[in-house]
């Protein structure tokens, strides 16, 4: 199986640069502002989710990163190389899978991959080995002699992913790769992406399937109407709410005094009893109290604790909080 090669001509300190740096990216389509001074970064060897409603600017951003569109202003760097002035360098280090891709349906899977490997300058002798590797990685080896037109949507997606891997890029730019796939095909695709990350690839993935991104990604950027609303780790997005912490408390059985005991703890701002008793959710100010003080109060009330842990906020809930309703461009 192929691995990430050492890039030629790497300058001192280049290995410390993030995979992607977007600096005040701005772009217009006629009188419509598609991107509005967008800034974010993607660390190397991460799976970074790129989330936003339709018309938020996701595809525009991906096309800029893929050197297919020039920004009106601002800069985008891929491993330190400018996507406008150093586009040839960038193109050799990325693999771009658009949301609507064209496959040559009259070709077999092997012919299709061989065509693109040749386009990237791989020698005839080397191409066979590379194609064998990418077919094994995407679990398509047994389909290499099949015509693409006879493949299912999920299998065509795998062929498209195999195509962006033939020149062994370090960064994958994937625009809605799971769109239109059935649940099994989605799960299998996500496992392939995890394997690629284990191999050292950086993956920048745009998707509307928020629950899958929550399980797949270690960092995320949320945009709305061309503006970055959040960019950072997935954990911080799903657990942190300013100075307020949210925890879930599960008891072994109903215990009425615990609710009053929780409300008396300094710093506790909210206590809610869930319908699926005996479960409570509570919010507290991290500067006024901590989990040990809360647990002491619970135990002192005579309750038996089954679990007490952070109440993880769903990515889709965070998405709804950060984006605005209304008609999209």
> For 218-243, how does the pLDDT look when each residue is reduced to its tens digit (9 = 90+)?
999 999 999 999 999 987 776 655 56
Q: What is the pLDDT of residue 41?
A: 97
Using DSSP's 3-state secondary structure scheme, residue 47 falls into strand
Give the whole-angstrom CA distance, residue 11 versus residue 19.
15
- Count CB atoms within 10 A of the CB of residue 254: 10
| Gyration radius from the chain CA atoms | 24
For residue 24, the cross-strand partners are none
Which is it for strands 94-97 and 81-82: parallel, antiparallel or unpaired?
unpaired
Contact between residue 123 and residue 130 where contact means Cβ atoms under 8 Å apart: no
Give the whole-angstrom CA distance, residue 84 versus residue 82.
5
Contact between residue 298 and residue 261 where contact means Cβ atoms under 8 Å apart: yes
Q: What is the pLDDT of residue 113?
A: 96
Q: What is the pLDDT of residue 276?
A: 66
Q: Which domains are seen in the chain, by residue range? A: 14-237 (3.40.50.300), 242-312 (3.30.70.100)
Q: Which stretches of the chain drop beneath a pLDDT of 50? A: 1-12, 327-329
Q: What is the pLDDT of residue 11?
A: 42
Using DSSP's 3-state secondary structure scheme, residue 316 falls into helix
Q: What is the pLDDT of residue 298?
A: 93
Q: What is the pLDDT of residue 27?
A: 97
pLDDT in tens, 143-161: 999 999 999 888 999 999 9
CA angle 83, 226, 99 (to 5 degrees): 65
Q: What is the pLDDT of residue 234?
A: 85
Does the pTM exceed 0.75? yes
Contact between residue 204 and residue 78 where contact means Cβ atoms under 8 Å apart: no
């Amino acid at each position: 199986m192929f691995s990430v090669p050492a890039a030629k001509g790497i300058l001192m300190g280049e290995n410390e640069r993030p995979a992607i740096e977007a600096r005040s990216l701005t772009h217009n389509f006629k009188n419509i502002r598609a991107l509005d001074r967008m800034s974010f970064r993607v660390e190397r060897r991460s799976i970074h989710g790129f989330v936003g409603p339709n018309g938020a600017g996701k595809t525009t951003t991906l096309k800029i990163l893929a050197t297919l569109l020039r920004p009106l202003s601002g800069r985008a760097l891929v491993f330190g190389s400018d996507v406008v002035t150093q586009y040839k360098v960038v193109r050799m280090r990325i693999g771009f899978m658009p949301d609507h891709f064209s496959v040559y349906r009259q070709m077999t899977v092997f012919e299709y991959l061989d065509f693109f490997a040749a386009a990237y300058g791989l020698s005839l002798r080397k191409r066979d080995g590379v194609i064998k590797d990418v077919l094994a990685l995407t679990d398509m080896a047994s389909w290499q002699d099949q015509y693409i037109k006879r493949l299912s949507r999920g299998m065509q997606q795998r062929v498209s992913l195999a195509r962006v891997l033939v020149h062994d890029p370090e960064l994958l730019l994937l625009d809605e790769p799971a769109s239109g796939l059935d649940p099994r095909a989605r799960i299998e695709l996500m496992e392939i992406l995890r394997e690629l990350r284990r191999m050292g690839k950086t993956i920048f993935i745009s998707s509307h399937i928020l629950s899958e991104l929550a399980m797949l990604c270690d960092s995320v950027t949320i945009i709305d109407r061309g503006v970055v609303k959040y960019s950072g780790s997935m954990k911080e997005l799903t657990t942190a709410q300013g100075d307020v912490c949210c925890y879930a408390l599960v008891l072994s059985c109903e215990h009425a005094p615990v609710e009053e005991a929780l409300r008396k703890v300094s710093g506790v701002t909210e206590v809610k009893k869930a319908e699926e008793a005996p479960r409570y959710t509570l919010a507290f100010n991290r500067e006024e109290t901590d989990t040990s003080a809360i647990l002491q109060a619970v135990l002192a009330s005579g309750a038996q604790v089954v679990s007490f842990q952070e109440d993880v906020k769903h990515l889709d809930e965070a998405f709804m909080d950060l984006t605005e309703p209304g008609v999209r461009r």
